Amino acid sequence: MKYTSEYQPPTLTVDAVVFQIIDDKLQVLLVRRSQEPFKDELAVPGGYNPQGETTQVALKRITLHKAGVDIDKDLKYIEQLYTFDTVARDPRGHAVSVSYMGCGRDIKPSASASERPAFVPVDELPELPYDHADIILYARNRLRSKLTYTNAVYAFLPSKFTLTQLQQAYETILGKELDKRNFRKKFLSLGLIRETDEMFREGAHRPARLYEFTSKKLASLSRSFD
């Protein structure tokens, strides 16, 4: 295969799986497609990546334009997930999808979006076109494991938060309940967060202390094989 005029690359697309927690549910950003194929169906926001544009730049352009979400402002964590490229995944022909996962909080897609964005609970997804269900599943699994060995939860929380909020974020994403005392003991021992002198008051009960992350850089906290 030479790099000559005969060489024709496949279509390159990018797709964004954007998570946030709403109503104690992990929800994913979907758009209603404005064009064929799958016009008017819900799908993960994505689009074409042309020559000269990196996938990150294309992703920012596409999520902003189609879904009204600004990656740099709205997301607190983003990572490349996987490149999906089974020839059959697109009915129009061979299209390679470089997919990303992003996480944030209080994301409100702007009204100027071209494809009517909405957040949908990951456990209540409709049928999705292409291999978007696979991509979301892949992202969920990645997210789950990220929480277990990094401090990536920070992306889902406000800058100051209570330990209960922290625990609820874990429970929502991992999909199981955790013991309050053990969770606190362990998380505090990691040294990733520190208490502030502020309290969170809400409702007719004792107020909760607010904590903050010592760093918002992704940090590893795993115990390894050896």
Q: Could you list the residues that contact DNA (CB under 7 A)?
A: 162-164, 179-182, 184-186, 201, 203-209, 223, 226
Segment holding 213, helix H or strand E: strand 208-213
Minimum Å distance from CB 195 to DNA?
A: 8
Angle at the Cα of 69 from the Cα atoms of 144 and 107, rounded to 5 degrees: 60
> Is 128 within 8 Å of 42 (Cβ atoms)?
yes
Question: x/- binding map, residues 151-180, to its own copies, per CB under 8 A?
Answer: -------------------x---x-x-x--
**If binding is defined by CB under 8 A, does position 183 make contact with its own copies?**
yes
How deeply is 22 buried, as exposed, middle or buried, from its count of CB atoms within 10 A (0-12, 13-18, 19+)? middle
**If binding is defined by CB under 8 A, does position 5 make contact with its own copies?**
no
**If binding is defined by CB under 8 A, does position 141 make contact with its own copies?**
no
The CA distance from 192 to 220, in Å, is: 10
- Residue 196 interaction partner, one of its own copies, DNA, none, beta carbon < 5-8 Å per kind: none
Q: Which of 52, 156, 65 is nearest to 113 (CA)?
A: 65
- Residue 112 interaction partner, one of its own copies, DNA, none, beta carbon < 5-8 Å per kind: none
Q: Which of 34, 30, 24 is nearest to 42 (CA)?
A: 30
**If binding is defined by CB under 8 A, does position 199 make contact with its own copies?**
no
- Residue 86 interaction partner, one of its own copies, DNA, none, beta carbon < 5-8 Å per kind: its own copies
Which residue type sits at 51?
A: Q
Minimum Å distance from CB 133 to DNA?
A: 31
The CA distance from 69 to 211, in Å, is: 28
Q: Which letter does DSSP use for residue 204 in this model?
A: S
**If binding is defined by CB under 8 A, does position 149 make contact with its own copies?**
yes
Give the nearer residue to DNA in terms of CB position, either 114 or 148.
Answer: 148
The CA distance from 191 to 36, in Å, is: 50
Which residues of the chain form contacts with its own copies (CB under 8 A)?
A: 1-3, 7-12, 35, 47-56, 62, 80, 82-83, 85-87, 92-94, 96, 98, 145, 147-149, 170, 174, 176, 178, 183, 186, 221-226
